[in-house]
Amino acid sequence: MKKTVTLGALTVAALAAGAAGAATLDDVKARGELKCGVSTGLAGFSAPDANNVWQGFDVAYCRALAAAVLGDPMKVAFTQTTGQTRFTALASGEIDVLARNTTWTFSRDVDLKFEFVGVNYYDGQGFIAPKSLGVASAKELDGATVCIQTGTTTELNLADFFRANNISYEPVPIETNAEAQQQYLAGACDVYTTDASGLAATRATFETPADHVILPEIISKEPLGPLVRHGDNEWGDIARWTLNALIAAEEYGVTSANIAELSSAPTNNPEINRLLGTEGELGAMLGLDAEWAKRAIMAGGNYGEIFEKNIGEATPIGLSRGLNAQWTEGGLLYSPPFR
Amino acid sequence: MSDTHAQTVAYVRDTMLDQQDPPLNQTGAVKWIRENLFSGWLNILLTLLSLWVIYAALSHLLPWALRGIWDASNLSQCREIIAELYGPDKPAACWAVLAERWPQLIFGFYPKELYWRPILAFLIFLAAVAPVLFSSVPRKMLWVSALAPFVLFWLIWGGSLWGPIAAILGFVIGWAILTFAAPKIGNLISVILAIVVPVIYWLTLCGPLAGALASVVPLSLQTVPTQNMGGFMLATIIGVSGIVLSLPLGILLALGRQSDMFIINKFSVAFIEIIRGVPLIVWLFTASLLLNYFLPPGTNFDLMLRVIIMVTLFSAAYIAEVVRGGLAALPKGQYEAADALGLDYWKSMRLIILPQALKISIPGIVNTFIGLFKDTTLVVFIGLLDPIGLSNSIRATTDWNGVYWELFVFIGLCFFIFCFSMGRYSLFLEKKLRREHR
């Protein structure tokens, strides 16, 4: 019932906002600032540093988008959204784009009237357990107490997984990731389950990370990506192709180090030329200038550089590329061609 | 005088003995300890138990806090330093997170080079409340109090100075109508005019006038948008605005609830019961989410303003009930005495009823205010960066992911200082006003 009401309210809002916000690009340009919704705090994805400058993997996408549209990656106003407020903030036009590690699902895309512009991180739900528990697989967790964040898709996935494997568990409901870390360390639950990226980030903060193992099972698909409102396809295209430009840049070997050189004159790779605007009219088709993708890539580097800088193996979070490698290297990242 | 005893009694002292000090165990600290802590086997047992509990708590807490590291750039570095200094199993605090991030906890994302503005605003605020809180402060300072809201708004949000000045002009118009026009056109009409004319002025002329003045003499500070405000600054702005606005509103509602006029009475009752019957968090969600649906798309109604309005309405409902308690506690004779003196309603309220009723209500009012101030942390759920929200953000950086107690200890201490001083002030006020027992 509650859900239906929420969805209904969201639909009304989306319809109302869709009519009014038909030209988000013009609004953003007139305002001179991109309004980007991020999470209230997930290590590596979005957080303010000591100088009040936002940093992180999701933040980098917003900066690239601002660079493409406005020419300046710093012209972004970040709005912190919680799990409850994120969709209404987007539907009501309070933000132009939501980059808040949001899972792309059918109902969010179709029923809530949003448009996911792609996937910037392929995640999946996993488990972390103390080594002393002596389990090597999630299927051995019969009768375990599990710390789980309430109101998320992870809760439903967990129930599905245990039912499918015909084993039992006892849930320990938790509100936030921070609380979950404390509860897990205090021994309130045997295992903690959330997105694998979050588990890795969590484990990195433990005093003795080596005492905890992340179990090999990934029990759900969590494709996380930025999203915009339904009804403004031009804006959706810009958001989608900015993300694709970052991914394609990595595939073609365009980095923040060599982009100045590659864009100074047409190279012998026509795909790079079209991407960087030295050939063709792709920017004009989007309603932007020819160098939009160049600026987006220069904002924080290509997808690989953003990944390594914020959540990659050199950072305390230490995520490996895994599914998020380019398709040429066995991952799922696959940008449609720029032509 | 008979001399009989002079023969029968061998010795009679004819001088007074000097007073002796009481025995050592019947005086000072020793006596107090004996009487209060060790006066029987049960008390001895409880005393020892309490001492042990205090020791157990402090022996964990104090070394942890005192060993604390103040200089480190991230959590793992901090842990390394601790391991190096104290060995493996000695816990120690990483105060370094506060050393690095305290400006954020206090000011949120307010631009660093503009920190002087909220600090100055806070000092002006203190100067402005002093004459209201303490009667020993010269009465002329009340002018500072009257002008402070406009100056504070200008200092914190920035923008053109002419906006607040044009807004003040509205009040001046209202005052002028009340003083100069009232003798000619009658009281009731002048009161109505004094309300209607300024409102019309604010809605129509105020904006263009401020714009025109600004174009002639640009006097402006750099604008700081609301979303850059956070931490204790946000909590204080919401808390103080809520407190200042809800007290008069609450008093009016309390009077309205006692009123004989049907509509005013029923409106007050309905308002109080509806606002009080729904949790604050629901009202906050209403402010942040539902209002967006009712307002035309594209309207940018500042979120902090929405929250301040909701918080004010919420605490006004509570204040109304507290004040109603004070009104109900007054003997009927006080009302009758006021009537007998021939005072009209407002005069009798102002001179006789409210001074007594409010005095009775002080503990309850301050209690509500303390609750309101602490409730400002609830705005974290609608994405405003109160201190708790900022602690989440700080924890979300890779440097400080995993820091808990240090941040919460700091936030707790700051809130304690605010709320404790409010409580002390209420005690001071009660003592000062306690006339009948003096």
B104 closest CA partner among B363, B386, B315: B386
Establish if A13 touches chain B: CB-CB under 8 angstroms: yes
Establish if A8 touches chain B: CB-CB under 8 angstroms: no
Fold of B101-110+226-438: MetI-like fold (1.10.3720)
Establish if B257 touches chain A: CB-CB under 8 angstroms: no
Residue with tokens 């009723």: B357
Question: Across the interface, do A82 and B383 touch by the CB < 8 Å criterion?
Answer: yes
Enumerate residues 203 to 242 of chain A having a beta carbon within 8 A of any beta carbon in chain B. 204-207
Going by pLDDT thresholds of 50, 70 and 90, the confidence category of residue B238 is very high
pLDDT more than 70, % of chain A: 93
Residue with tokens 């660079």: A67
Question: Across the interface, do A176 and B392 touch by the CB < 8 Å criterion?
Answer: yes
Q: Tell me the domain boundaries of chain B.
A: 24-66, 101-110+226-438
Distance in angstroms (rounded) separating the CA atoms of residues B71 and B62: 19
> What pLDDT sits at residue B7?
64
pLDDT in tens, B29-76: 888 888 888 888 999 999 999 999 999 999 989 989 998 889 988 888
> Is 50 exceeded by the pLDDT of residue A84?
yes
Contact A233, A18 (CB under 8 A): no
For residue B230, the chain A residues in CB contact (below 8 A) are: none
Distance in angstroms (rounded) separating the CA atoms of residues A128 and A191: 6
> Is 90 exceeded by the pLDDT of residue A62?
yes
Q: How many CB atoms lie within 10 A of CB A199?
A: 20
> What pLDDT sits at residue B2?
55
How many Å lie between the alpha carbon of B398 and the closest alpha carbon of chain A? 6
The sign of the dihedral angle between the CA atoms of A92, A97, A100, A105 is positive
Going by pLDDT thresholds of 50, 70 and 90, the confidence category of residue B435 is low
Q: How many CB atoms lie within 10 A of CB B341?
A: 11
Where is average pLDDT lowest: A271-280, A320-329, B8-17, B77-86? Answer: B8-17
Question: Across the interface, do B402 and A206 touch by the CB < 8 Å criterion?
Answer: yes
Which residue in B397, B405, B407 has the most chain A C-beta atoms within 10 A of its own C-beta, making it the best mutation to test that interface? B397
> Is 60 exceeded by the pLDDT of residue B15?
yes
pLDDT in tens, A222-238: 899 999 999 899 999 99
DSSP E strand boundaries for chain A: 34-39, 47-48, 54-55, 76-81, 97-103, 114-116, 121-123, 125-130, 144-149, 169-174, 191-195, 212-214, 222-229
**Average pLDDT score over residue span B302-329:** 91
How many Å lie between the alpha carbon of B102 and the closest alpha carbon of chain A? 9
How many Å lie between the alpha carbon of B382 and the closest alpha carbon of chain A? 7
B399 closest CA partner among B71, B98, B76: B76
Going by pLDDT thresholds of 50, 70 and 90, the confidence category of residue B417 is very high
How many Å lie between the alpha carbon of A333 and the closest alpha carbon of chain B? 25
> What pLDDT sits at residue B368?
92
For residue A317, the chain B residues in CB contact (below 8 A) are: 398
pLDDT in tens, B95-129: 999 999 999 999 988 988 999 999 999 999 999 98
Which residue in A2, A5, A15, A82 has the most chain B C-beta atoms within 10 A of its own C-beta, making it the best mutation to test that interface? A82
Going by pLDDT thresholds of 50, 70 and 90, the confidence category of residue B380 is confident
Average pLDDT, chain A: 87
Establish if A245 touches chain B: CB-CB under 8 angstroms: no
How many Å lie between the alpha carbon of A115 and the closest alpha carbon of chain B? 19
Which residue in B392, B394, B404 has the most chain A C-beta atoms within 10 A of its own C-beta, making it the best mutation to test that interface? B392
Q: How many CB atoms lie within 10 A of CB A59?
A: 25
> What pLDDT sits at residue B298?
59
Domains and CATH numbers, chain A: 2-122+223-329 (3.40.190.10), 125-220 (3.40.190.10)
For residue B79, the chain A residues in CB contact (below 8 A) are: 207
Establish if B298 touches chain A: CB-CB under 8 angstroms: yes
> What pLDDT sits at residue B23?
81
> What pLDDT sits at residue B297?
60
Establish if B100 touches chain A: CB-CB under 8 angstroms: yes
pLDDT in tens, A95-146: 999 998 888 989 889 998 999 999 999 999 999 999 999 888 888 899 999 9
> Is 70 exceeded by the pLDDT of residue A264?
yes
Distance in angstroms (rounded) separating the CA atoms of residues A93 and A21: 7
Q: Which helix (H) or strand (E) element contains residue B220?
A: strand B220-221
Of residues B136 and A67, more confidently modeled = A67
